[in-house]
Amino acid sequence: MVSSDQSVTKRRRYGVLAIMAGLAVLGARESAVLPPAAGRLPALAHRPGVVSARTAQASRVRRVDAAAPLPDHSPLSYQQFPAILHPGAVGSIRLVLDVVGDVPEVGFRRNVPTTATGYVEELWSRLRTRSVAGRLVSVFEQTYPATILSDLLVYPHGHDFPQVPLGRLDDPGGSGETATMWLRIASTDLPASTVRLITPPEGGTATAQYASHAVNLVLPGFDDARIDSAGGGYALEAAAQSFYQDFADQYQTLAFIPHRMPLVPLDTFNRTVWSDIDGIGMPLADDRAAFGGTALRALQVLPAGFLGHQATLLHQLAHHWGDQMHLGTLAGFVPAGNDPDRHTPLLYPDATLMGGVLYGTRQVARVVTGDGVERFEIARPTAPVRFHPLQLYRMGFLDRGEVPDITVFAEQAQFEPQRVSAPAVGTAVAGEREVVSMNTILAAFGTRDGPVFTEWNQAVVIISDTLLSQEEMDYYNFYAQRAAASAGTRAYDGFGSFFEATGGRASLQTAMLTRDAAAHPAITQAGDVGDVAFGTDDWRGLMFDEPIPGRLPTSTALTLRGNIDPEVLPGSYRFLIIRASRFGDPPGDAMTVQTSVSGGRFVISLRFPADGAGAYAIDAFVFVDGEATPIPTSVITPLFVD
């Protein structure tokens, strides 16, 4: 049972995890065993390929042009079984990997962050082959016990990032490229969705189904089309045409999610279909006829669980308007970073969600000392992170006079020469700099002229070989609906909704409308997707008596009761520690509270102080006794305190 000293029942979402204040550690101590020390807890793990201690690698977003066939030894895609995992899963987890060409074995580094190296080396042997348009494809299968989730769930995950990194596939082609393989993870409190089939008029088996905010199309071979187009092709035209057979032509973006999750070199991208906006640096284009939609402006591919990752979602949407202004070149400097022709360089002021050098959790700040000396250093922007003023101009939301002069730095490669990075706050930004004014930009590109969208419609379309299960539809429908929410969906690292990123100037809509509304009416999905509760079993090995809401007012005490899950954590345990790590704080500033465990039961309370507002990652550890090594359960994000 959850109790509170404020009216939690009136606002269930605010009655959150009771951490931090609490109970007597041992109560009536029945033995001389001392409680564990919080200082012995391992450091919080970081998400590989998204945010690490030093750098952040944004999902790849490259131009999708006609290209040569994918060379042999190139990783193609992988599948996960079960398709959706839960924290308390038992049994086995199976991976099926496809690699182009005659490849007998591949190397894989499976993540085990609790070990000294952080991984174990594995060698996967080919199970069979298949043929695609005369090309050989090697198929690998690897099965793990579900107990590996105890290793993986220590990576922060939750409503804002519904996946964990299984490990890294070493490129068998020897190009130096590696790819992270992710496992989709769902909350145990994932809401159910109403799903309807669309049967062909001539009868036969349904090849389409839809929920309130997501569509599933059966299109075998969708991802195999990449073999002949260097990884970026897919069967995009066929998928779009199939969509328009049954669904309304009102979406500016079709966001395709391949059920066979793609691997490098093009795992996530945006492709412009129709561009009719002058003066923003984007080439004009109109390829709508090839896809069949009159409103269509862009196509996206979002693999694995990146639909639920706000930073990826916002970045992909932003690509319809740039950044292709080449500010570094205008300033006379050599570009650097990730794909600098299509991303924002190292500049001042303000953060950017289109960074080729800095991830969106970082920006450059100007500091003037008491004696008048000016310097520039890395700072953290205020959440929610917004689009840069120049991006808002390109979108049509700011006039030319509202865009500040932009300072561009000469040493674009001073952090990670070919990557998007997140340097430590306070890091000096070195080198010469040049101011690029709006007049310079206008002289190069002219005045912006074209449509302005205060509402952007995006269809979320999952492409699979067979119809998805109910649970998979629940997963994708929840995150498609969540993508359209205006508030309450902010991520642990500060990325908010499209509405928040535009400063309230535009909204994103993902509701699904069919072409024949009489035969296939729209589905209304009830339930709030903002600040949603955590499920009772979302921490592996712990079973709370009631769901744990995702938002808590400061200075509110809350008590949690629950059990150790004997199926996941068999044995006897004496202590439980819960740790709350606020985003942006040094690791040593994390708050901890501990309590005793008796007969598998625990009661623990927390209270965040008045100055404790922020976004938190919550992890928990159990101990067999006071001297034993802590056993991690899960790291869940985000818990908001305000």
Q: Is 609 within a domain?
A: no
Number of domains observed in the structure of the chain: 2
pLDDT, position 606: 86
Q: Is 361 within a domain?
A: yes
pLDDT, position 174: 66
Q: Is 421 within a domain?
A: yes
pLDDT, position 176: 63
pLDDT, position 269: 86
- Mapped onto helix, strand or coil, the DSSP state of residue 605 is strand
pLDDT, position 417: 92
Q: Is 25 within a domain?
A: no
pLDDT, position 47: 75
Asked which of 418, 445, 472 is the last residue of a domain, the reply is: 445
Q: Is 480 within a domain?
A: no
pLDDT, position 20: 36
The pTM assigned to this predicted structure is 0.91
Distance CA 9, CA 2 (A): 10
How many Cα atoms occupy the beta-carbon half-sphere of 91 within 13 Å? Answer: 8
pLDDT digits (tens, 9 = 90+) for 169-225: 887 766 666 789 999 999 999 999 999 999 988 888 999 999 999 999 999 999 898
User: What CA–CA distances, in Å, run from 578 to 183, 401, 573?
Assistant: 25, 50, 15
Residue 291 CB burial class (10 angstroms; 0-12, 13-18, ≥19): buried
Q: Is 344 within a domain?
A: yes
Distance CA 557, CA 22 (A): 9
pLDDT, position 464: 97
Q: Is 439 within a domain?
A: yes
- Among 302, 380, 317, 309, smallest CA distance to 159 is for 309
Asked which of 138, 155, 184 is the last residue of a domain, the reply is: 184
Handedness of CA 468, 470, 476, 481 (dihedral sign): positive
- Contact status, residue 477 vs residue 211, Cβ threshold 8 Å: yes
Give residue 427's identity as a one-letter amino acid code.
T
User: What CA–CA distances, in Å, run from 73 to 194, 293, 427?
Assistant: 42, 36, 40
Q: Is 592 within a domain?
A: no
Give residue 67's identity as a one-letter amino acid code.
A
Asked which of 158, 184, 210 is the last residue of a domain, the reply is: 184
**Residue 292, H or E segment:** none
Domain containing 407 equals 327-445
**129: CATH:** 2.60.40
Residues of the chain with pLDDT under 50: 1-31, 50-66, 230-231
